[in-house]
Amino acid sequence: MDETFRWLEINPACCNGRGWADTLYPFDRLPPGRGIEKYERLWQKSHLAAGIALVFETDSETIGIRWSQHEFEEEPGSFETRSANGFDLYAFDEIDGDWRWAGLTSGIRVSEADVFTLKRGHPLGRRRYLLYFPMQKTVKQAWLGINERAFFRFEPPRKDPPLLYYGTSLINGAFSSRPGLSLAARLAREFDCPLLNFGFAGSAEMQIEVAELIAELAPAAILVDVLQNLDLSLLPGRVVPFLKTVAAAHPDKPILVLENAMALAAFWRDGGGKAQMYWWNVYRRLFRKVRRDFPNLHYVSGLELMGIDRETGSDSVHANDIGFDRMFRALAGALRRVSPQFKPAVSAAEKRRRYLKHFE
């Protein structure tokens, strides 16, 4: 097996998932000089590479990755190692006509000399690959390792309208088991559209500057899923101006406004559900004020968003893969209902037929 690499630096301009070209650091998700810097935590989270993704074509037998990171003071956290730190690889499967999971880096990067192997083993011929960046790291530079004599081509980023998912730590990756299983990435694959991941852990607080930035983009649809970060005291001042700004800028695009799924820990508090319901109701009333003028706004209840069995996490508030799998199905359904644009390229029956072809 050929494991000799030549290293190709990943050009940020080739990556999907970037809303602006003129960012402070190459893989940043928000631009400088637009008022975000004053929200220290949000500004810091905007440097994380969540949702950055690259498509390339190669016949390399082995694929590696090396990368360096900005040395910020990172928050200590229980962010699962491989979702936070891993690069995650999908390959295009001709039988399914879709991206299928192909490899994940393991281990923690210590220096940029560390080489991680994304794919080894069985040669897959010349093929397109989709590479997701880590959800919780500030990637400074990254290099793809390709066999010396292999064919290689970067695919330019997509120009069609992206799905824009504005959310909290959950959308910032906490805690899918790998980046490709993060909720926003799954929705984008399902509907075959590019993605702008606006998941900002602990800092998705409907700051008006974020609304103004979203207003200047051209998304296919917007999901707003920030209630877990919005203290009750912030709701009256923030919700209406934020939603108005976003909805007025995109009056013909579906905008889904989500209630949070209740934090698992809250079920153990006396009156925890009632307190959550009160919080949801305040939010819903504010939503309705804006909805009158903007019928493109759609409300999504949090009550059963992750099902009812409370097996959907491993800490007080974040989701596990089960929670995200259930949210994925709920939100894919919601998008299909509100817009004819969001239908899967192939029907469920056809997906199954293709799956079974692998065994013929």
**Residues at the interface with its own copies (CB under 8 A):** 78, 80-82, 91, 93, 100-102, 104, 106, 121-122, 124, 175, 177-178, 180-181, 186, 264-265, 267-269, 272-274, 276-277, 303-304, 308-311, 313-315, 320-322, 325, 351-352, 355-356, 358-360
Pairing of strands 163-167, 221-225: parallel
67 contacts 55 by C-beta, under 8 angstroms: no
CB 223, min distance to its own copies, A: 20
> Which three-class secondary structure state does DSSP give residue 218?
coil
CB 352, min distance to its own copies, A: 6
**Sign of the C-alpha dihedral computed for residues 150, 151, 152 and 155 taken in this order:** negative
Specify the residue, 12 or 323, whose C-beta has the smaller distance to its own copies: 323
- What's the CA angle centered on 309, arms 306 and 311, to 5 degrees? 80
Specify the residue, 16 or 320, whose C-beta has the smaller distance to its own copies: 320
Segment (H or E) for 5 = strand 5-9
- Residue 328 tokens read as 């994925």
**Looking at residue 16, what DSSP letter applies?**
B
CB 108, min distance to its own copies, A: 12
Specify the residue, 11 or 316, whose C-beta has the smaller distance to its own copies: 316
Specify the residue, 21 or 349, whose C-beta has the smaller distance to its own copies: 349
Specify the residue, 219 or 302, whose C-beta has the smaller distance to its own copies: 302
CB 151, min distance to its own copies, A: 18
CA distance 312 to 252: 34
Specify the residue, 138 or 312, whose C-beta has the smaller distance to its own copies: 312
- Residue 297 tokens read as 């706004």
Helices (H), the chain: 40-45, 81-85, 183-190, 208-215, 235-249, 272-291, 321-338, 348-357
CB 232, min distance to its own copies, A: 17
From the centroid of its chain, how far is CA 202? 15
Give the Å distances, CA to CA, from 193 to 29, 153, 162: 18, 21, 6
**Sign of the C-alpha dihedral computed for residues 303, 307, 311 and 312 taken in this order:** negative
Q: How many residues appear in the chain?
A: 360
Specify the residue, 11 or 78, whose C-beta has the smaller distance to its own copies: 78
**Looking at residue 11, what DSSP letter applies?**
P
CB 51, min distance to its own copies, A: 17
CB 277, min distance to its own copies, A: 5
